[in-house]
Structure 1
Amino acid sequence: MKKIIVSSLLATLVLFSCKNQEKKETIDQEPVADQVVTQKGATYAELSTAEGGEWKGRVYEGGTSFKNVEELWVPQQHTDHSWYLRYEGPGWESSKVGYRLYLDWRNAIDIFGKVTDQMILDQVGQDNFDSYHEEQPWGQDILKVGKALGIGSYGQLVKDSVYHFQKVDSTYAKVFNGDSSSGVAILYKGWEVADAKTDLQVRLEIAPDSRLTRATLQPSTALNGLVTGIVKFDDVSLIKSDGEGDWAYIATYGEQTLVPDELGMVIFYKKSEVNAIVDGFYDHLIHFKPTTEGVTYYFGAAWVKEKDGITNEADFKTYLEEELAKLNG
């Protein structure tokens, strides 16, 4: 029975990715497990699960190694710090930056700052611990997410609160590596907020030599509170642009890493898909209009230690305007 369900979901995810592909390009939907990519200019995505141990309550104990998988039904007992998923979820990267999604109730997106232009995700978290929070030869985890969405993740805004994925019937993820991009497709079944359930399909992908992840969300019902956002930090101001053109952005720049040092974060959004920019408790939020047709946006990070990267706010703002011009071009 589960094989039949998986086949159906795979068909849904592939259809979803094709339907929302704005550029005329072919993305290989067959992910490559255990592949290590080293060439400059490539992209890479992976998802790894622990093996050799067993579940004891909500914790996977005694794991001896990790194995890359192409797809995964997230175990019902899995939660934060279960030690089952290497670096807690899927990761995807370009030569400039890496990202990871907490594939549990938090559902935030974190940043791997890179000091190299090589692919590094296969090296991260192999020691069963979170050593990536400390400086490594390739860089480190740099974003302090806390109770926020991190950068570019998604939730539901109900009154003044953003609900993550505290209640969901099941979650399915599939990674892909193609010539033009790498990333992850996710299906959340029965996401419950305020006594209402919806299914949410998500696609997150990154192109070679880009800092930007392209995110596409498609809910099964027209949610009134679908949001994305950027984590807020004290003494770091919000930068906004909503001038001419179809696209706009919100961004931040300043000392907002675990190091601590300077980091720029941005979300580009289509003005026609957005109700308002909202000041949340933990995030600068983009509140989308209700729809079942799907919404698309881009998020990205520029770390001061990135190889040949952006090292000051003025250059970051120049980068934002250049990317905005491309989207509006």
Structure 2
Amino acid sequence: MIINKICGVLLLVLFVQLSCKQKISQKLTEQIDGPSKTYAEISIKEGGRWEGRKYVGENITFKNVDFLRAPDSLTDHSYYIRYEGPGWESNKVGYRLYLDWRNAIDIFGKKVDTMVLSQVGRDNYDSYHENAPWGQDILKAGKSLGIGSYGRYDGTTTHHFQKVDSTTVAISNDSNASSVLVNYYGWKTDNVATDLSANLSIAPDSRMTKATLQTSEAIEGLVTGMVKFEEITLMKSDDDSGGWAYIATYGEQTLVPDKLGMALFYRKKDVEKMVDGEFDHLLQFKPTTEPISYYFLGAWEQEKNGITNRQQFKDYLETLLTDFNRQS
């Protein structure tokens, strides 16, 4: 009996010591790493039911998941996924992808350098289009690809994702980056069918999303792009000597309205041609089944310590281009 009591006391002391060490280690880690500078999520409703194409019910709550197969009933304004798709952010800017036939990528302009997406859209309403202390949804994507999304251009029309057998999303968060992996199975456009994988990731202290696309078939017309606005001229990189280039726009192109810069960085060897689409400035990639990577970004004038004029934006892009070409 005495031996059992002594063993019990020793185990208790050991447990307390280990717990204290774990807490100290956790505090030291937090002090070294600091607060998180990237975040990705997808949040769905539970407690309701599908009625046709809409998810309805009372006392509905949101739940974050690391993996989702999009329901077959999902379409635009189904009110099933919080802010209609996955979102990802850095301490500079946020983005979201419409996880339905539209597949446009939208921009969340941020006035703060903390993570905000986990609280956006929790009122079950699109109030994130309205000005808030953290920022707001700023880009009017309309019928375009938004910024940096993907589709297929057939020479006349940019096809989105009206016909897909199934779509899945996987979320990843670590200290180096946060990412969203979207897999589209059986994407059909005209008489062309392929699977497509899209990995979208963002790093701390960066406005840029790295997009990596891979198709199961070497299809013609795979494109990325950004929305066009009247009286906003297309900018192009000045230095044509390196392996990378960019296209960009700057001006009053937000819902506020105020100034926003958008850009796409791409490897010139990957691009077949530029296309002036109906709703987008497009980059058409060469057919391949190998991965294709490019970068896109939004720079809002209300961002903390943000870029506030066209020349600053141009200088910023040229600095990034120099870095891309130096590293390639």
* Shared fold, TM over 0.5: yes
Higher helix share: 2
Q: Is the 8 A contact 1:40 1:117 kept in 2?
A: no
Give the 5 Å matches for 1:1-329. Answer: 42-62=37-57, 64-241=60-237, 243-329=240-326
1:253-285, Cα deviation, whole Å (9 max, x unpaired): 000000000000000000000011111000000
Question: Which residue pairs with 1:18 in the alignment?
Answer: none
1:281-300, Cα deviation, whole Å (9 max, x unpaired): 00000010000002110000
TM-aligned CA deviation for residue 195 of structure 1? 2.2
1:165-200, Cα deviation, whole Å (9 max, x unpaired): 000000010010011100100110000001221000
Q: Is the 8 A contact 1:98 1:114 kept in 2?
A: yes
For residues 266 and 39 of structure 1, what CA distance do their matches in structure 2 show?
30
Query: Structure 1 counterpart of 2:137, which letter?
Result: D
- TM-aligned CA distance change 1:52 to 1:173, over 3 Å: same
- Aligned length, in residue pairs: 292
Q: Is the 8 A contact 2:36 2:175 kept in 1?
A: no
1:17-71, Cα deviation, whole Å (9 max, x unpaired): xxxxxxxxxxxxxxxxxxxxx9656100000001111000000001511100000
1:205-231, Cα deviation, whole Å (9 max, x unpaired): 000010000000000001110000010
1:146-178, Cα deviation, whole Å (9 max, x unpaired): 000000000000121000000000001001001
Q: Is the 8 A contact 1:228 1:286 kept in 2?
A: yes
Query: Structure 1 counterpart of 2:319, which letter?
Result: E
Q: Is the 8 A contact 1:41 1:209 kept in 2?
A: no
Q: Is the 8 A contact 1:154 1:227 kept in 2?
A: yes
For residues 235 and 175 of structure 1, what CA distance do their matches in structure 2 show?
38
Q: Is the 8 A contact 2:53 2:74 kept in 1?
A: yes
For residues 131 and 51 of structure 1, what CA distance do their matches in structure 2 show?
21
Q: Is the 8 A contact 1:39 1:118 kept in 2?
A: no
- Please report the TM-score for the alignment, with normalisation by the length of structure 1: 0.87
Q: Is the 8 A contact 1:40 1:95 kept in 2?
A: no
For residues 272 and 300 of structure 2, what CA distance do their matches in structure 1 show?
30
**Which protein shows a greater Rg?**
2
For residues 154 and 75 of structure 2, what CA distance do their matches in structure 1 show?
23
Q: Secondary structure at the match of 1:317?
A: helix
Q: Once superposed, which parts of structure 1, at least 4 consecutive aligned residues long, lie more than 4 Å away?
A: 38-41
Give the RMSD, CA atoms, in angstroms: 1.1
